[in-house]
Amino acid sequence: MSELTNLNHQLLLRSAIIGDKDNWFGLADSAKRKKIQNRINQRSHRKLVVIYQRPPEVSSTVNICLVGARQRHKPSPCTPSPSTAVPTVSHRNATSIPSIRVLITAVLNHELDLKMLVDKVNILQLHSWDNQAIIRVFETIASHDRRTGIIRSNMLSSLSQFNFSRALMLNAEVFGLSADHMHDDACSLFVVAGPWPVSVNINTETLPHGLRPTSLQYRTEHHPWIDLLPVAQLRDNILQRSVDTYDEADLCRAFTGRGHGQGTGVIVWREPWDPSGWEVTAEFARSWGWVISGCFDLFRSTNMWRSQRGERPLFRSQ
């Protein structure tokens, strides 16, 4: 079983906590237990009704990391101005809405792995209809699992993956980036000459310390997704590595866990721009050691979070 199943699930599921009055687990009185279960089911039904009645919105169909991976392998220079670029965004057609609803229903009925649903999270559109629906489903399932005391085997890894995707989305908002700035040919604003949109924050003095650019970020053309990682040495490690020596799409999947059943390679416990809240898993450290080479603060934060769960340190003390 993955080490992620040993994580303190109260940290991952804290957004779904409901009062003890809904906890029917171990209740001997069958009538009272049935009453509580009915109340829970009605609440869940109301949530799903809200999900299905929400109007569809424009939604991007790309993954932020994989977009960056494709861009860095292209020989053409970065797009000079995000305002003139054509973003890789498509309008969701009528058939895509039922597809999400079908997935949600299948997951709730235990007919489909929860991982299939979390892979649909679009980190370019935090407030999209699909994302909000998936968030609601997670809240419903997490609340149910907490009350029953039975956690789905893939719940923790799926929520870890979702937390990482959400972390990148929130860091993109810190920069004021939208889908228009994250398209396939986009280039980091730190290496693109202005003028920039008013919404974009490139005043490094106002950025959280973990997101302030390094000199290498100013000199090296790269996709903005790299700027969203709040560990400076990690960003530099990626930029210094020749794109011909590794598969960047694989690296992105290792970060996010997209398409894999073992969860994410990174766990985010605090505000996403705070590097002390980031933890790497043993699997990621083994497979992508060069990415985190010299990231001593990340080593310390990883060991700290592991120690809080009673686990052995992953890295030697520096």
Q: Can you name the residues that pair with 266 across neighbouring β-strands?
A: 280
List 279's β-bridge partners, or say none: 267
Cα(89)–Cα(61) distance, integer angstroms:
6
Residue 318 lies in a domain: no
- Cα dihedral: 161, 165, 167, 173 (round 10): -170
Residues in the chain: 318
Q: If you average pLDDT over residues 98-106, what whole number do you get? A: 74
- Residue 95 has phi, psi (to 5 degrees) of -80, -20
| CB neighbour class for 93 (10 Å; exposed up to 12, middle 13-18, buried from 19) | exposed
H helical segments located in 176-247: 215-219, 232-240
Please enumerate in sequence order all residues whose Cβ is within 8 A of that of 152, keeping only pairs 6 or more positions apart, or say none. Answer: 114, 141, 145
Residue 97 has pLDDT above 80, yes or no: no
- The DSSP line for 159-170 is HHHHHHHHHHHH
Is residue 317 assigned to a domain?
A: no
User: What does the radius of gyration of the chain's CA atoms come to, in whole angstroms?
Assistant: 21
User: Distance between CA atoms of 234 and 263, rounded to whole angstroms?
Assistant: 20
What gap in Å lies between CA 261 and CA 152, rounded to an integer? 13
Does residue 87 sit within a domain? Answer: yes
pLDDT in tens, 211-250: 999 999 999 999 888 999 999 999 999 999 998 899 888 8
Query: How many H helices and E strands in the chain?
Result: 12, 4
Q: Is residue 280 part of a domain?
A: yes
306: pLDDT strictly greater than 90: yes
Instruction: Yes or no: say if 158 and 263 are a contact pair by the CB < 8 Å rule.
Output: yes
Looking at every residue in the chain, the average pLDDT score rounds to 72
Structural domain range at position 209:
3-308
Query: For residue 195, is it within any domain?
Result: yes
pLDDT at 17: 32
Look at the pTM and tell me if it is higher than 0.85.
no
Assess whether pLDDT exceeds 60 at residue 54: no
Convert the pLDDT of each residue in 244-253 to its tens digit. 899 888 888 8
Is residue 301 within 8 A of residue 278, CB to CB? The reply is yes
Look at 44 and 181; give whichever has higher pLDDT.
Answer: 181
Whether residue 313 is contained in a domain is answered as: no
Residue pLDDT, tens place only, 126-147: 567 777 787 777 777 777 777 7
Distance between CA atoms of residues 178 and 155, nearest Å:
29
Tokens 């000079």 -> residue = 80
Is position 102 within any domain? yes
In a domain, 315, yes or no: no
Contacts of 253 (CB under 8 A, 6+ apart): 65, 66, 259, 260
Q: How far apart are CA 40 and CA 222, in angstroms?
A: 48
Task: Return the exposure string of 260-283: e unless at least 16 CB atoms fall within 10 Å of the residue's CB, then b.
Answer: bebbbbbbbbeebbbbbbbbbbeb
Domain count, the chain: 1
The string of pLDDT tens digits covering residues 243-294 is 889 988 888 888 876 655 555 689 899 999 999 999 999 989 999 999 999 9
Please give the share of the chain, as a percent, with pLDDT higher than 90.
25
